[in-house]
């Protein structure tokens, strides 16, 4: 018997009979948080109060605690599941599967004892994400438009490293990005033996510490509010300063700067200011990789997440056209629109 799946008007991805992912839903006893980005924490306070269990990976729990401490995870019935671990609930089995996105990100698979399988990708980058085999697939649609293609995926990391190394000759280099992406940049630079200190404000520092606790290696982390970090920045000594994208207009204005963003399809590296470059480093699949995931997954039916981005309708049409698989966008009218990078 096939299991149901849909995306509610409030952005909850409903799988089978019991699970609501990434937003609160009144009728569902189980809430799953696929990862720590804010548009996947919709109604989490309500879920913590009302759901029987709130499920996520341990890394996602730790990230939410430092990024959104006010949500009060400790007050709710949070249970952590590791990748591949299964929870039996009634006649359904729930499994979290790795998604390559930010630390702790998971796909969700729900299987009925009678044999039906439904899955939700959450946000993902195809490279490093296992493709789930299922009857109904709910897929993210961030770059679900054919104009969102990055034909230059290879070599972006090398370009980032050489750009930072070049800019370090002029002193402190400022890197701007979102939580998760900043830590990916630290890891890339650390792996490439860029051994200058990494300086950052408190929030970025705490997120980075969680990443290190869960196995990422990020280099020499220094707080910008402490003497050593302050001196490095004030005296423009060779270091890399990591700041959230929101600080881009306030700090490091006269320094060499690098922004990392997925919303760039023309070139892997583009100059956007006198001393500023944009590097196209994305933690989402581009259009071709979304189609490729669906092709490999071979579902009978696809639902595109039309709540979090504007490309759900387009992606559904393209899946119908290119793969001959029945696909619909849900919810029908975009109830909420948010640009993600
Ligand atoms: Zn995300």
Report mean pLDDT in 10-residue bins for the chain, 341 residues.
88 97 97 96 95 97 92 88 97 97 97 94 97 97 95 88 95 96 97 97 97 95 96 97 96 96 88 95 95 98 94 97 98 57 38
Question: What's the Cα-to-Cα distance from 119 to each of 86, 94, 310, rounded to whole Å?
Answer: 14, 10, 21
- How many Å apart are CA 105 and CA 107, to the nearest integer? 7
> What distance in angstroms lies between residue 169's CA and the mean position of ligand 1's atoms?
34
Distance CA 135, CA 303 (A): 11
For residue 92, give the H/E element and its range: strand 92-98
Q: What is the distance between the alpha carbons of residues 206 and 322, in angstroms, rounded to a whole number?
A: 44
Reading the block at residue 160, the tokens are: 């980032």
- Residue 233 CA, ligand 1 centroid: distance in Å: 31
- The Å distance, Cα 94 to ligand 1 centre, comes to 21
For residue 273 the two structure tokens come to 């200011």
Compute the distance from residue 259 Cα to the ligand 1 centre, in Å.
Answer: 18
Q: What is the pLDDT of residue 339?
A: 44
Q: Check: CB of residue 209 under 8 Å from CB of residue 218.
A: no
Instruction: Please report how the helices 202-213 and 58-67 are oriented relative to each other, as an axis angle in degrees rounded to 10.
Output: 170
Give the pLDDT score at 338.
47
Q: What is the CA(17)–ligand 1 centre distance, in A?
A: 25
Q: Are strands 269-273 and 301-305 parallel, antiparallel or unpaired?
A: unpaired
Q: How many angstroms does the Cα of residue 103 sit away from the middle of ligand 1?
A: 10
Rounded to the nearest 5 degrees, what angle is found at the Cα of 192, between the Cα atoms of 61 and 200? 50
Burial (CB count <10 Å: 0-12, 13-18, 19+), residue 201: middle
Backbone φ and ψ of 262, nearest 5°:
-85, -20
Q: How far is the CA of 39 from the centre of ligand 1 (A)?
A: 7
Looking at 191-268, which runs of residues are DSSP E strands?
198-200, 221-223, 240-244, 257-260
* pTM of the shown model: 0.93
Q: State in Å: Cα 319 to ligand 1 middle.
A: 22
d(CA 91, CA 294): 27
Q: Identify residues whose C-beta is under 5 A from ligand 1, the ion.
A: 37, 123
**Looking at residue 168, what DSSP letter applies?**
G
* 123 alpha carbon – ligand 1 mean position (Å): 5
- Rounded distance from Cα 238 to ligand 1 centre (Å): 32
């Amino acid at each position: 018997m096939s299991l149901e799946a849909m995306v509610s008007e409030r952005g909850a991805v409903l799988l089978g009979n019991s699970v609501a992912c990434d937003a609160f839903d009144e009728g569902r006893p189980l809430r799953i948080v696929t990862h720590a980005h804010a548009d996947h924490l919709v109604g989490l306070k309500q879920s913590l109060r009302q759901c029987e269990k709130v499920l996520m990976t341990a890394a996602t729990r730790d990230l939410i605690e430092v990024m959104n401490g006010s949500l009060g995870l400790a007050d709710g019935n949070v249970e952590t599941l590791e990748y591949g671990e299964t929870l039996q609930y009634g006649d359904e089995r729930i499994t979290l599967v790795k998604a390559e996105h930010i630390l702790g990100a998971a796909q969700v698979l729900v299987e009925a004892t009678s044999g039906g399988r439904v899955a939700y990708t959450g946000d993902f980058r195809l490279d490093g994400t296992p493709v789930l085999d299922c009857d109904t697939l709910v897929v993210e649609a961030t770059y679900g438009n054919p104009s969102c293609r990055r034909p230059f995926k290879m070599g972006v990391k090398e370009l980032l490293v050489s750009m930072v190394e070049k800019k370090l000759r002029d002193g402190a280099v400022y890197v701007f990005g979102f939580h998760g992406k900043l830590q990916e940049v630290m890891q890339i630079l650390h792996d490439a033996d860029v051994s200058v200190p990494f300086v950052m404000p408190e929030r970025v520092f705490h997120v980075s510490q969680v990443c290190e606790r869960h196995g990422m290696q990020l280099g020499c982390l220094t707080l910008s509010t402490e003497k050593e970090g302050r001196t490095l920045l004030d005296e423009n000594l060779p270091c890399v300063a990591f700041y959230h994208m929101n600080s881009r207009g306030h700090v490091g204005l006269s320094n060499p700067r690098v922004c990392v963003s997925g919303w760039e399809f023309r070139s892997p590296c583009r100059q956007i200011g006198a001393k500023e470059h944009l590097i196209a480093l994305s933690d989402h699949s581009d259009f071709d990789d979304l189609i490729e995931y669906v092709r490999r997954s071979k579902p009978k039916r696809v639902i595109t997440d039309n709540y979090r981005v504007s490309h759900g309708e387009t992606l559904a049409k393209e899946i119908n056209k290119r793969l001959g698989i029945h696909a619909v966008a849900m919810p029908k009218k975009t109830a909420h629109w948010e640009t993600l990078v």
